[in-house]
Amino acid sequence: MKFTRNLTIGQYIHKDSFIHKLDPRIKLITALLLIIVIFLINTWNGFFVIGLYLFLSITISKINPKHVLLGIKPLLFIIIITLLLHLFTTKGEVIFTLWILEITKEGLLRGLFIATRLFLLILSTSWLTLTTSPIALTDGIERILLVFRIIKIPIPAHEIAMMMTIALRFIPTLMEETEKIIKAQIARGADFESGSIINRIKSMIPIIIPLFINAFHRADELAVAMEARCYRGGEGRTHYRELSIKATDQIFFFITLILILLVVFF
Amino acid sequence: MIRFINVTHAYHNEREESTISLSDINININTGDFIAVIGANGSGKSTFARHMNGLLLPSKGNVIVDGNNTNDSDKLWEIRKKVGMVFQNPDNQLVATTIEDDIAFGMENIGIEESEMKKRVEWALNLVGMHDLRNKEPHLLSGGQKQKVVIAGALAMHTSYLVLDEPTSMLDPKGRKEILETIKKLNREEHITIIYITHFMSEAAEFDKIIVLDNGKIALTGAPKSVFLHYDKLKELNLELPQITMLAKLLNDNGLDISPNILNEKEMIEELCSLI
Amino acid sequence: MFIDLRNVSYTYNLNMPFETEVLKSINLSINEGEFIGIIGHTGCGKTTLLQLLNGLLEPTNGKILIDGIDIHKDKNKLREVRKNIGLSFQYPENQLFEETIFKEIAFGPKNMGIKGDSLIDNVKKAMKMVDLDYSIYKERSPFNLSGGEMRRVAIASILAIDPEVIILDEPTASLDPQTRNRILRLIKDIFKRYSKTIVLVSHNMEVIAELAQRIIVMDKGRIVLDNSPKNIFRNNVTSLEQIGLAIPQITSMMHKLRKMGKPIKPDVLTLEEAKNEILKIVKKK
């Protein structure tokens, strides 16, 4: 009830920065290109360049690095597991032994390399979601998907964007609802903590069923409300927030593209 | 004007059984009216409301909104622009991630161009007094505030008739007051026709005219003062008079020289003062 | 069963960026057999208070004693608490999930270890308390019901645990007047016939004034008034108005008359009382 009161939707932190004002389509494409490049890179130099780029971007965006790291925290454990896996399973020149586990020089280098790759991947997506509001993201995705229509691939761009918006809008509401249902069932003696795995899964039924019913009920009512407001799909719709590519967007993208090409070819 | 001409509506369920929810309704709602529709559970109030914007279509008869028939699918969107609807659950009407964007939703649907949308969003926000909260996310608002956003969304469509189906039943007293004040202001200052569905007589007492429904038929219509005189009929329909009116009636029954259809505290005090 | 809250405070999101102190130094005793009404604005802390009463939440400061024992010092005592203090949340029909009404109502007592014939008895008794015919309703789906019926099933599912104390959070929220009156009558009956202790939370002063023997008024996390309805409506009407709580139309009117100098008793709660008082004064003239 209360813990969701101050949770904002998504990771977005509002600041008045150059990066924040960029067109979301540019940012989405940039993030995508960065991700692709990060996968293609095979040198530490490449990582360094991309890392520097992201570091500069985030500095310009005026977002507190603490918040950036907080965003990465949940995924930190994947990075560590990957590192450890490579550390202990790569064959080569052994430099350290921990009981039966051997750490090799190759393992260390490889592990760090792949961990850095993961770190940069997560950083690129964080960069996107920290500086782009959910509305801007969905608008951007919708506009990009609309391009497919031009080349005759029928992707329901508007419908996808609408679904994303509604989902984002209802996440906090449904979370509150879940909390209420859990408390109500605990008040009736429900126990989610003890017993075998099977029992614990079964004990979720009194939460999942009411939640689903609640969600469907909401969807029903929302559909009627939308119809009453003349919703009839994407045909003929205009956008409250128009997106336009400005000179600054073009320059930013140009610079980013050059950088990426440099990294790929050197 | 919204005209109901010989309107009958029957619901059919999966087992092909039908229930008559509206039976031969004939009534006109004029522009600028400030009307409450009241009735017990099952009297057809919600069904009646949903005929006004074509969410439901009559099985027999016609509903005409400013010259357009709701049966005419070409004219349906025109009608829905004119007749805005506010439902009971404040949450299940808000679609967007911020208030501003939600108010714009209806306008986006009908293809209003961007600069006009921006103007109307400003105007609607101010009318309902929510300008400071324009960037807020819906889940952070109170029930009353959410309903005001829904109302703003309808206003932005340049709606002339606002139909509210029990809009305060999930709100606390503060929220209820907020909504009643908002619609009174909209009726007075913007000449928006208000049709307000409720099951509370004490709320109905605040409107210019009351329509009482019973089993899909119109049982009584008139100003609150005249409707409240029909105490026995109302009791039969499982409707209770507001506390103050009930007191007035009891005192009147006991021989006191007091009107039996007093609507509020102020009137009661005035009449009692001369007697005590 | 004697419930005692001593200097209880509760803070949400303790030590986190959005920490909020929702309850401040609450001192409250609830005695066996009382019918208590709690009223206050949204956000005054009443829902938090209820969850503290049945052990769902642990106070950040202070103690909660039931029959003299601190309930948070012993995990077993906590489970015991849920058997004896039943809590029905707002819109309790949102918790329904079973295939049949019998199973739904049996869920609570079953979790508390009641089985076999005892279980059936508990369910039957609970259904009787909410006026649902056992033979007609037991096999029906809890979802195939009217709003009022669903509400009654949900309340029965708490009653079936057979707690000594029943806490109801806005049991008549969103109901039409007829159904609302029916549920209030049922609550009154349960109180009289089964000698339960009842704590009822509502926004609606008229409901509370009609049923409660003791009214607790909360504002911004504190208890500001704790007295009988008569006393509150005689002496504290100004405080209530300052907090922004609406008093029953009739009581408000009587107070205004008194302020105008009329020799009238202002602490009336019901129509009958108001009628009699006014007739009395007029006859005197």
Q: Is A265 helix (H, G, I), strand (E, B) or coil?
A: helix
Chosen for mutation from A183, A188, A191, A204 (greatest number of chain C CBs closer than 10 Å) is A188
Reported residue count of chain A is: 266
Chain B neighbors of C206, CB-CB under 8 A: 243
Helix H or strand E encompassing B12:
strand B2-12
Q: Which residues in chain B are contacts of A142 at CB distance < 8 A? A: none
C241 touches chain B (CB under 8 A): no
In the block, which residue shows the tokens 């961990």? A115
C274 closest CB neighbour out of B169, B238, B247: B247
Q: Does B208 touch chain A (CB under 8 A)?
A: no
Interchain contact, C177 vs B243, CB within 8 Å = no
- Selecting from B169, B243, B251 the residue whose C-beta is nearest the C-beta of C249 gives B243
* Closest-CA distance of chain C to residue A61, Å: 22
Is the per-residue pLDDT at B168 higher than 60?
yes
For chain A, say whether B149 makes contact (Cβ under 8 Å): no
Strands C197-202 and C35-40: what pairing? Answer: parallel
Tell me, yes or no, if B100 comes closer than 8 A to chain A by beta carbon. yes
- B117/A218 CB distance under 8 A: no
| Alpha-helical regions (H) of chain A | 18-21, 24-40, 44-60, 65-89, 105-131, 134-150, 157-187, 197-202, 205-228, 247-265
Nearest CA in chain A to B77: A230
DSSP assignment of chain C equals: --EEEEEEEEEETTTSTT-EEEEEEEEEEE-TT-EEEEEE-TTSSHHHHHHHHTTSS--SEEEEEETTEEGGG-HHHHHHHHHHEEEE-SSGGGG---SSHHHHHHHHHHHTT--HHHHHHHHHHHHHHTT--HHHHTTS-TTSS-HHHHHHHHHHHHHTT--SEEEEESTTTT--HHHHHHHHHHHHHHHHHH--EEEEEES-HHHHHHH-SEEEEEETTEEEEEE-HHHHHHH-HHHHHHHTPPPPHHHHHHHHHHHTT--------SHHHHHHHHHHHHHH-
Percent with pLDDT over 70 in chain C: 99
Mean pLDDT of B177-188: 96
Q: Domain extents for chain A?
A: 13-132+243-266
Q: Do B137 and B98 touch, CB atoms closer than 8 A? A: yes
Q: Which residue has the tokens 């209806």?
A: B106
Whether B256 sits inside 8 A of C179 (CB atoms) is no
Query: Both B213 and B274 in a single domain?
Result: no
pLDDT per residue as tens digits for the range A142-184: 988 888 877 877 888 889 999 999 998 999 999 999 999 999 9
Interchain pair B243, C248: CB under 8 A:
yes
Q: Identify residue B2 by its one-letter amino acid code.
A: I
pLDDT higher than 90, residue A83 = no
Residues B220 and B261 in one domain: no
- Of C220, C255, C253, C260, nearest to C238 (Cα)? C255
Does B15 score more than 80 pLDDT? no
Are B152 and B260 in a shared domain? no
Beta partners for residue B194, in sequence order: B34, B162
- pLDDT on residue B71: 95
**Is the same domain home to B149 and B192?**
yes
Chain C closest-CA separation from residue A22 CA (Å): 29
* Chain A from 161 to 200: CB within 8 A of any C CB: 177, 180-181, 183-191
Taking residues B4-25, what's their average pLDDT?
A: 89
Residues B131 and B266 in one domain: no
Q: Are B129 and B260 within one domain?
A: no
| Closest Cα in chain A, distance from residue C237 (Å) | 31
Cβ-based contacts of C179 with chain B (< 8 Å):
41
User: Tens of pLDDT along C245-254?
Assistant: 888 888 889 9
3-state secondary structure of A251: helix
* pTM score: 0.90
Residue B181, domain CATH: 3.40.50.300
Average pLDDT, chain A: 86
Which has more confidence, C77 or C207?
Answer: C207
Among chain B residues, the shortest Cα distance to A216 is held by: B92
Nearest CB among C17, C97, C111 relative to A205 is that of C97
User: Searching chain A, which residue's CA lies closest to the CA of residue C80?
Assistant: A189
Residue of A230, A232, A235, A244 for testing the chain B interface, max B β-carbons within 10 Å: A230
Do the Cβ atoms of A242 and B114 come within 8 Å?
A: yes
- Would the CB atoms of B153 and A229 count as touching at under 8 Å? yes
Q: How far apart are CA B103 and CA B125, in angstroms?
A: 8
Per-residue pLDDT tens for A109-127? 888 888 899 999 988 988 8
Q: From residue C246, how far is each of A148, C39, C177, C206, C221 by CA, in Å?
A: 59, 10, 19, 9, 19
Give me C154's structure tokens: 């949900």
Task: Dihedral sign for Cα C54, B139, B143, C220, please.
Answer: positive
Domains and CATH numbers, chain C: 3-246 (3.40.50.300), 248-285 (no CATH)
Confidence at A95, pLDDT banded by 50, 70, 90: confident
Nearest to A260 by CA among A78, A100, A37, A57: A37
Contacts of C86 in chain A (CB under 8 A): 187
Number of domains, chain B = 2
Residue B246 has its nearest CB partner, among C271, C278, C285, at C271
Q: Which residues on chain A are in Cβ contact (under 8 Å) with B85?
A: 225, 228
Q: Is residue B96 part of a domain?
A: yes
B237 falls within a domain: no
Which residues of B are less than 8 Å from A139 in CB distance? none
User: Looking at the DSSP assignment, which residues form a beta bridge with residue B19?
Assistant: B11
Shared-domain flag, residues B194 and B246: no
Per-residue tokens: A216: 């469907």
Which residues of A, range 137-156, sit inside 8 Å of B by Cβ? none
Indicate the range of A98-107, B18-27, B149-158, C6-15 predicted with least confidence: A98-107
pLDDT, mean of residues C262-270: 84
- Identify the band that residue A4 occupies on the pLDDT scale cut at 50, 70 and 90: very low
Question: Worst-scoring range by mean pLDDT, B35-39, B272-276, C138-142?
Answer: B272-276
Nearest residue of A to residue B151 by CA position?
Answer: A229
| Chain A, chain B: beta-carbon pairs less than 8 Å apart | 102
- Site from A221, A229, A231 to mutate, B interface, most B CB atoms within 10 angstroms: A229
Neighbours of chain C (3+ CB pairs under 8 A): A, B
Q: Which pLDDT does position A78 carry in this prediction?
A: 85
Q: Bridge-partner residues for C166, per DSSP?
A: C86, C198
Q: Would strands C3-12 and C20-30 be described as parallel, antiparallel, or unpaired?
A: antiparallel
Q: What angle do CA A220, B144, B1 make, to 5 degrees?
A: 70
Compute how many other C-beta atoms are within 10 angstroms of the C-beta atom of residue A162.
Answer: 21
**Model pLDDT, residue B86:** 98
Give the pLDDT band of residue A10 (cuts 50, 70, 90): low
Q: Determine whether the interchain pair C253/B265 forms a contact, defined as Cβ–Cβ distance below 8 Å.
A: yes
CB of C144 less than 8 A from some CB of B: no
Pairwise CB contact (< 8 Å): A189 & C161: yes
Q: How far is C29 from chain B (nearest CA, A)?
A: 27
A113-117, A170-174, A247-251, B34-38, range with greatest mean pLDDT? B34-38
Identity of the residue in C42, C252, C282 whose CB atom sits nearest the CB atom of B275: C282
Q: B34-39 and B209-214: which strand pairing?
A: parallel
Using CB atoms and an 8 Å cut-off, which of residues 9-68 of chain A contact chain C? none
Mean pLDDT of B77-82: 95
B153 vs A contacts (CB less than 8 Å): 229
Average pLDDT over residues B195-221: 95
**CA–CA separation, B199 and B220 (whole Å):** 15
Q: Which residue has the higher pLDDT, C152 or A87?
A: C152
A218-227, C32-41, C78-87: which has the minimum mean pLDDT?
A: C78-87
Residues of chain C with Cβ-Cβ distance to A177 below 8 Å are 94
Yes or no, beta carbons of B101 and A240 under 8 Å apart: yes
pLDDT of residue A9: 52
Closest CB to A228: pick one of B55, B118, B140: B55
For residue C206, CA distances in Å to A9, C201, C265, C276 come to 39, 12, 18, 19
State the smallest CA–CA distance between residue C232 and chain A in angstroms. 31
**Residue span of the structural domain in which B252 resides:** 242-276
Q: Which residues contact B17 (CB under 8 A, 6 or more apart)?
A: none
Count Cβ neighbours within 10 Å for each residue of B4-28 and write b for 16 or more, e otherwise: bbebebeeeeeeeeeebbbbebeee
The ipTM of this complex is 0.93
Maximal C-alpha separation, chain C = 68
Candidates B46, B47, B95, B120: best to mutate against A (most CBs of A within 10 A) is: B95
d(CA C18, CA B265): 43
Which residues of chain A have a CB within 8 Å of the CB of B112? Answer: 238
Q: Kindly list the residues from chain C whose CB atom is less than 8 angstroms away from the CB atom of residue B142.
A: 42
Most A-contacting residue of B77, B92, B155 (CB-CB within 10 A), to test interface: B92
What subunits make at least 3 CB pairs under 8 angstroms with A? B, C
